[in-house]
């Protein structure tokens, strides 16, 4: 049993190296964002080590910079990271039904988009030590990149830091631009999101609403509207 665990752990380490390299590069921009929000290097590094969610962390840092309340941060984080509930559910179908709860919780803690994508591609049952191996190399890469970003943000001139901060926006654009080009509905929803966000920040009608609450309202309203107007049909719905 020990040999089998070691084999899976080492395989996870090997497969996690490309993820770690990508995480390190992306999280540098995230560290700069954390620095701009007034966070120290230890604070930002610990946040990355515990969360490992680019969108969730960026939203959290943005809300912190905007002076949002704890409740606003908690609600927005729950919305931003809700997709991991679905990933955890899907991944639970690949593990041994008798797998102890402690392993399930640890696997859920370290689920990211990339780790999930690699894990579901494993043939047969998924050994939790495979995930532990990937997390053991990917998590330090993410946290270290964040640390480097904060240090760079403290050492470099303000103009350079501002320019580097654009890198995170580029990362998010790389996420939603390809689906936009393939799906007109997604393209329309992105345009509506931009327009609605601009309107809420430009119109005096919404001056009494905090920046954090504006993000929550827009996220929930647009997501709910899209789900009602453009529901995703299941595979079996075509013949209905």
Q: Given this model, what pLDDT does residue 136 score?
A: 93
| Pair 193, 151 in one domain | no
Range of the domain at 113: 2-165
Backbone φ and ψ for 170, nearest 5 degrees, come out as: -65, -35
Residue 174, domain member (yes or no):
no
Residue 202 and residue 147 share a domain: no
Residue 205's pLDDT is 81
| CA triple 11-13-130, angle to 5 deg | 55
Q: Residue 126: name the closest of 155, 92, 85, 78 by CA.
A: 92
Q: How many whole angstroms separate alpha carbon 170 and alpha carbon 152?
A: 19
**141 and 190 housed in the same domain:** no
Q: Are residues 224 and 111 in the same domain?
A: no
Q: How far apart are CA 30 and CA 165, in angstroms?
A: 8
Average pLDDT on 97-104 reads 91
As a whole number, mean pLDDT of residues 44-48 equals 91
Contacts of residue 12, defined as CB under 8 A and 6 or more positions apart, other chains included, come to 129, 130, 131, 132, 133, 134, 135, 136, 137
For residue 197, being part of any structural domain is answered with yes
Task: Decide if 239 is inside a domain.
Answer: no
At residue 161, the pLDDT reads 58
Do 200 and 130 share a domain, yes or no?
A: no
Residues 172 and 152: their CA atoms lie apart, in Å, by 21
**Helix 70-80 vs helix 211-229: crossing angle, to nearest 10:** 30
Helix/strand/coil for 232: coil
Q: Hey, what long-range contacts does 55-62 have (CB within 8 A, 24 or more apart)?
A: 55/80, 55/81, 55/172, 56/80, 56/81, 57/30, 58/30, 58/33, 58/168, 58/172, 59/215, 61/30, 61/33, 61/34, 61/36, 61/37, 62/33, 62/37, 62/211, 62/215
In this structure, is residue 170 part of a structural domain?
A: no
More confident residue, 215 or 49: 49
Same domain assignment for residues 213 and 146: no
Give yes or no: residues 161 and 192 share one domain: no
What band does 12 get if pLDDT is binned at 50, 70 and 90? very high
The 10s digit of each residue's pLDDT in 193-240 is: 889 988 888 888 887 776 667 777 887 888 788 888 887 665 444 443
Residues 117 and 74 placed together within one structural domain of the fold: yes
Structurally, the chain folds into a number of domains equal to 2
Same domain, 188 and 103: no
> 59-73, 120-134, 156-170 — which is least confidently predicted?
156-170
């Amino acid at each position: 049993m020990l040999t089998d665990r070691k084999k899976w752990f080492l395989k996870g380490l090997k497969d996690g190296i490309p993820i770690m390299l990508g995480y390190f590069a992306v999280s540098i921009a995230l560290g700069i964002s954390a620095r701009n929000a007034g966070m120290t290097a230890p604070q930002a590094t610990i946040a990355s080590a515990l969360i490992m969610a680019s969108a969730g962390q960026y939203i959290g840092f943005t809300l912190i910079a905007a002076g949002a309340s704890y409740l606003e941060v908690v609600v927005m984080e729950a919305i931003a990271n809700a997709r991991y509930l679905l990933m955890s559910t899907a991944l639970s179908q690949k593990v041994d039904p008798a797998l102890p709860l402690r392993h399930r919780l640890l696997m859920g803690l370290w689920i990211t988009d990339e780790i999930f994508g690699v894990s579901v591609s494993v043939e047969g049952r998924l050994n939790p030590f495979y995930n532990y191996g990937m997390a053991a190399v990917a998590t330090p890469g993410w946290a270290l990149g964040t640390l480097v970003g904060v240090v760079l943000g403290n050492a470099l001139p303000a103009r350079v830091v501002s320019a580097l901060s654009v890198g995170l926006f580029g990362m998010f654009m790389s996420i939603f631009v390809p689906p936009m080009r393939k799906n007109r509905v997604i393209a329309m929803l992105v345009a509506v999101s931009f327009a609605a966000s601009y309107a809420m920040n430009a119109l005096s009608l919404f001056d009494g609403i905090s920046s954090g609450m504006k993000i929550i309202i827009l996220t929930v309203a647009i997501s709910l509207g899209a789900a009602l107007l453009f529901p995703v049909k299941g595979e079996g719905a075509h013949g209905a």
